[in-house]
């Protein structure tokens, strides 16, 4: 992921504009337009996102309530996977 975000501007641009990225983060409209057309601005944004993702720095601000809902969504997904794997009929049997 680090290499994709650091070097592949097309990938990161698609990540920003074709995912929930802009719904989660509070990024000014002027900056969004710069990121759409300027690779340098796009790389600056990718480095800010990486610093937040890897080092937990507050480089990008979440929109009000979005972080909590995203975290809860991931938690619910994880709990669903855990429930499926813990079901007795889903366990692998040895021998």
User: What is the pLDDT of the chain when averaged over all its residues?
Assistant: 79
pLDDT, one tens digit per residue, over 66-88 is: 665 555 554 554 455 455 545 55
Name the residue ranges covered by the structural domains of the chain: 2-90
Residue 24 neighbours by CB under 8 Å, 6+ apart: 62, 63, 66, 67, 70
Over 80: is that where the pLDDT of 34 sits?
A: yes
CA contacts within 13 A on the Cβ side of 16: 29
Q: Structure pTM?
A: 0.66
């Amino acid at each position: 992921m680090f290499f994709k975000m650091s070097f592949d501007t097309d990938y990161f641009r698609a990540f920003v504009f074709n995912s929930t990225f802009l719904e989660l983060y509070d990024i000014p409209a002027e900056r969004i337009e710069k990121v759409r057309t300027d690779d340098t601005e796009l790389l600056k944004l990718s480095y800010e996102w990486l610093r937040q993702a890897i080092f937990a720095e507050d480089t990008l601000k979440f929109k009000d309530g979005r972080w909590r809902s995203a975290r809860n969504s991931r938690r619910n997904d994880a709990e669903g996977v855990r429930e499926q794997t813990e079901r007795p009929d889903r366990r692998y049997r040895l021998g």
